[in-house]
C-alpha cells in the first residue's frame, strides 16, 4: 500500500492516550505544531513528486513512560525534569503519522503485550508468532520489556526494532562478546543490534542513525518582528533545575553588570537559594511562554549543564545568541558522572557540541569560562552583534520528515549486510585511487555497483593519520563517516589500491579495523561486521575510513540518498 501524507493530527492525539502529565505535555506540543507539520508535509510531497512510499505498520512503545520501568519522568514534567525526551517522542509520533504510516502507541506493558499478541497472564509466548508490525520504535526500557515478553520471536524480529537513544551507543559497547572481553560492558547492555538501529537526538556519531526532533519555525514576517523587538540587554539562563546555578556566582556577577538576567527555574513556594536575587526567575514556563521569552532575549547562556538538549536550538531559532562553556579537558564517560556507564566513549568539548560544530558563530559562542576576561569580552561582543533567527534544515519539520522518510524506505536491517568480509572473494574492489593519490573513489564504470543505501558511488575512502578516528578523519575532508560502506573497504585490495605497504594481513575482531599498524607494517581486517565503527582511535593505528558527502543542513543523507 502507498503511504499518503496526513495533515490533520486529531486522530494522532487520540492514539496518544491520556492521563499522564508527560502525555499531556506531548499532546499540547503536537497540537501547537500541527500547522507547521502540515505545511512541511505539503513541501516534502512536492519535493518527492511521484516517488513511491510504502505504508508501514508501526508500533511505538515508549518504555520510559511505563509504570513497569518506574515512569520516573511523568511526575517531574511539572518540575522541570527532562522534557527533551518528551519533545523528541512527540515529534517522532507526529512525523510517522504525517508520513502516513499505520500507527499504534503503547505506554504500558499491558498494551504492549496485547499489541504483540502475547496471551494475558503469560509472561511470554514461547512460540514465534507472526509480528503484525513492520517497525517498532522504542527505547532501552522498552527493548528490555520486549525481550522479556516476546520469547523467541524477539530474536527473529529484533531487526525491525529502532531504539531511541539520546546519547548514542557505539559499536564496541553493542557487541556482547567484544564488550565483555574488552571492558565495554555497561548497564545499558549489549544487544548485538545493527548500530544504525540506535537513533540519537543529535548527530553524535554516524555509527547510529540521527533521529532528532523539531523546533518551532518562524516565517519572514515573524523573523523581522522578532529582530526589531529584541531587548539587547536581556539574557536567559539555560537550565530548569536549581542545581545548575550552584557555584556560578562569579559568572552571574559579571553577566549582571551588562544584562538583565532571566531564569526559568522550577520552584515550589520560594526562590531557590541557588538563584541570586538579581535574577528574574519566571519559574518553569509552559513551552509557548518559554518561546515568547526567548523571542525577547538577546542572549541564551549555558553554565555547562544540561548537555545537548533542545533549548539552545530553540533559542537560536528565536534569534538569540547562545553562549556556552568550552570543556577542557573534554567530558566523557571516563571523567564525568553524567556520562559514566553510558555506552559511548565520545568526548564532549562543550555543553552543546552540535551548536558549536554545526551552527557556530555568530549564533553560537563557545568560550573558556575559567578565563573571566574571555567570558566578559564575549558578553560585550555579543551585545554588539546582530543575528538573524536560524534553524538548521534538519531540525525543521520538513527536514525531519525527509530524514525519517528516507530511513523508513531504505534502511533494512533484516537482510544480511553487504559484501567483502575477509575470506569472501571479491576479486577486485570497485575502487580506484583518486588522481591526487590521497583517497579511493568508486570507479566510474565499475560493473558491480551494488544496490546499497546510501548508494555506494558516494563513497570516498581515506587512510586516517595515526590516532585519528574515522568520524574526525571524514570531517577533516568535509565529509561524514558512513559505516555501511565499511564492508566495501574491508579487503586486502583496498589497502593495495591505497598503496599501503602491508607486510602481512590478519583478520580479527577489533572496532578500529580495518587499519594499518605502522610499526610492524601490518594490515588488519575486520572479522565481525557488527564491530565496524566510525568512532574510536588508537595511536597505534591508521584506520581505513569510509566517508561520503552529505546534504547541506541534512547530515544524515547523502546527495543521492533520497
Contact residues toward ligand UDP (CB under 6 A) are 82-84, 87, 240, 264, 284-285, 287, 290, 306, 309-311, 314
C-alpha neighbours within 13 Å on the C-beta side of residue 460: 21
Whether 400 and 471 have beta carbons less than 8 Å apart is answered as: no
Q: How far is the CB of 551 from ligand UDP (least distance, A)?
A: 25
Minimum distance from residue 319 beta carbon to ligand UDP (Å): 15
Q: CB 311 → ligand UDP: shortest distance, Å?
A: 3
The C-alpha atoms of residue 235 and residue 321 are separated, in whole angstroms, by 9
DSSP 329-346: EEE-TTT-GGGTT-S---
- Minimum Å gap between C-beta 85 and ligand UDP is 6
Smallest gap from Cβ 79 to ligand UDP, in A, equals 11
Q: Give the torsion sign (CA, 211, 335, 463, 553).
A: positive
Q: Name the DSSP class of 396.
A: S
Q: How far apart are CA 8 and CA 100, in angstroms?
A: 11
Q: Which is nearer to ligand UDP, 94 or 464 (CB)?
A: 94
Widest CA span in the chain: 74
Choose between 314 and 402: whose C-beta lies nearer to ligand UDP. Answer: 314
| Smallest gap from residue 270 Cβ to ligand UDP (A) | 18
Cβ proximity to ligand UDP: between 145 and 351 the closer is 351
User: Residues of 472-509 as b/e, b for ≥16 C-beta within 10 angstroms?
Assistant: bbbeeeebbbbbbbbbbbbbbbbbebbeeebeebebee
**C-beta of 201 vs 463, nearer to ligand UDP:** 201
Neighbours of 46 (CB within 10 A): 8
Give residue 222's Cα distance to chain centre: 29
**Secondary-structure percent of the chain, ordered helix, strand, coil, rounded to 5:** 35, 15, 45
Residue number, 82 or 553, with CB nearest to ligand UDP: 82
Q: Which is nearer to ligand UDP, 283 or 553 (CB)?
A: 283
Give the Cα separation of 561 and 477 in Å (integer): 20
Choice between 47 and 79, CB closer to ligand UDP: 79
Closest CA to 276 of 263, 257, 294: 263
| Nearer Cβ to ligand UDP (290/495) | 290
Instruction: Provide the minimum distance between the beta carbon of 20 and ligand UDP in the complex, in angstroms, as a whole number.
Output: 16
Quick one: cell of 3?
A: 503511504
Minimum distance from CB of 96 to ligand UDP (Å)?
20
Q: Between 90 and 131, whose beta carbon lies closer to ligand UDP?
A: 90
Give the number of other Cβ atoms within 10 Å of residue 263's Cβ: 26
Half-sphere exposure at residue 217, Cβ-oriented, CA atoms within 13 angstroms: 22
Give the Cα separation of 547 and 433 in Å (integer): 14
Closest distance to ligand UDP from the beta carbon of 283 (Å): 8
Amino acid at each position: 500500500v502507498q503511504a499518503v501524507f496526513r495533515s490533520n493530527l486529531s486522530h494522532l492525539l487520540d492514539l496518544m492516550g491520556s492521563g499522564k502529565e508527560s502525555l499531556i505535555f506531548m499532546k499540547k506540543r503536537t497540537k501547537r505544531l500541527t500547522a507547521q507539520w502540515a505545511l512541511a508535509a505539503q513541501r516534502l510531497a512536492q519535493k518527492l513528486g511521484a516517488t513511491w512510499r510504502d505504508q508501514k505498520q508501526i508500533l511505538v512503545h515508549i518504555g520510559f513512560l511505563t509504570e513497569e520501568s518506574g515512569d520516573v519522568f511523568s511526575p517531574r514534567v511539572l518540575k522541570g525534569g527532562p522534557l527533551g525526551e518528551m519533545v523528541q517522542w512527540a515529534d517522532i509520533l507526529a512525523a510517522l503519522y504525517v508520513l502516513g504510516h499505520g500507527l499504534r502507541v503503547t505506554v504500558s506493558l499491558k498494551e504492549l503485550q496485547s499489541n504483540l499478541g502475547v496471551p494475558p497472564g503469560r509472561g511470554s509466548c514461547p512460540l514465534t508468532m507472526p509480528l503484525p508490525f513492520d517497525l517498532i520504535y522504542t527505547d532501552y526500557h522498552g527493548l528490555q520489556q520486549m525481550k522479556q515478553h516476546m520469547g523467541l520471536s524477539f530474536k527473529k524480529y529484533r531487526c525491525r526494532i529502532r531504539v531511541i537513544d539520546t546519547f548514542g551507543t557505539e559499536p564496541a559497547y553493542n557487541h556482547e562478546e567484544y564488550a565483555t572481553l574488552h571492558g565495554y560492558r555497561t548497564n545499558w547492555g549489549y544487544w548485538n543490534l545493527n548500530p544504525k538501529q540506535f537513533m540519537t537526538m543529535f548527530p553524535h556519531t554516524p555509527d547510529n542513525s540521527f533521529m532528532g526532533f523539531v523546533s518551532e519555525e518562524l516565517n519572514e514576517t515573524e523573523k523581522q518582528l522578532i529582530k526589531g523587538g529584541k531587548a539587547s540587554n536581556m539574557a536567559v539562563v539555560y537550565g530548569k533545575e536549581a542545581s545548575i546555578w550552584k557555584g556560578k556566582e562569579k559568572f552571574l556577577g559579571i553577566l549582571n553588570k551588562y544584562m538583565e538576567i532571566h531564569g526559568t527555574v522550577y520552584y515550589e513556594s520560594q526562590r531557590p537559594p541557588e538563584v541570586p536575587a538579581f535574577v528574574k526567575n519566571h519559574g518553569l514556563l509552559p513551552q509557548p511562554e518559554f518561546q515568547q521569552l526567548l523571542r525577547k532575549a538577546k542572549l541564551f547562556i549555558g553554565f555547562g549543564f544540561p548537555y545537548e538538549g533542545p533549548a539552545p536550538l530553540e533559542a537560536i531559532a528565536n534569534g538569540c545568541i547562545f553562549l556556552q562553556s568550552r570543556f577542557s579537558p573534554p567530558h566523557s564517560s571516563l571523567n564525568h558522572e553524567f556520562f559514566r556507564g553510558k555506552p559511548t566513549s565520545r568526548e564532549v568539548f562543550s555543553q552543546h557540541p552540535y551548536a558549536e560544530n554545526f551552527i557556530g558563530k555568530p549564533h553560537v559562542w563557545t568560550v573558556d569560562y575559567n578565563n573571566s576576561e574571555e567570558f566578559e569580552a564575549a558578553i560585550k561582543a555579543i551585545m554588539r552583534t546582530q543575528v538573524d533567527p536560524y534553524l538548521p534544515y534538519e531540525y525543521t519539520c520538513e527536514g525531519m520528515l525527509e530524514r525519517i522518510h528516507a530511513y523508513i524506505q531504505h534502511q533494512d536491517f533484516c537482510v544480511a549486510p553487504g559484501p567483502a568480509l575477509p575470506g569472501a572473494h571479491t576479486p577486485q574492489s570497485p575502487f580506484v585511487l583518486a588522481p591526487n593519490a590521497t583517497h579511493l573513489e568508486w570507479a566510474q564504470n565499475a560493473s558491480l555497483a551494488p544496490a546499497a543505501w546510501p548508494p555506494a558511488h558516494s563513497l570516498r575512502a581515506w587512510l586516517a593519520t595515526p590516532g585519528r578516528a574515522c568520524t574526525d578523519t571524514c570531517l577533516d575532508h568535509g565529509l561524514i563517516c558512513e559505516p555501511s560502506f565499511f564492508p566495501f573497504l574491508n579487503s586486502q585490495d583496498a589497502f593495495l589500491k591505497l598503496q599501503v605497504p602491508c607486510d602481512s594481513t590478519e583478520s580479527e575482531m577489533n572496532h578500529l579495523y580495518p587499519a594499518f599498524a605502522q610499526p610492524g607494517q601490518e594490515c588488519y581486517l575486520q572479522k565481525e561486521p557488527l564491530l565496524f565503527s566510525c568512532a574510536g582511535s588508537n595511536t597505534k593505528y591508521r584506520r581505513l575510513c569510509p566517508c561520503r558527502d552529505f546534504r547541506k543542513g541534512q547530515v544524515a543523507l547523502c546527495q543521492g540518498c533520497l
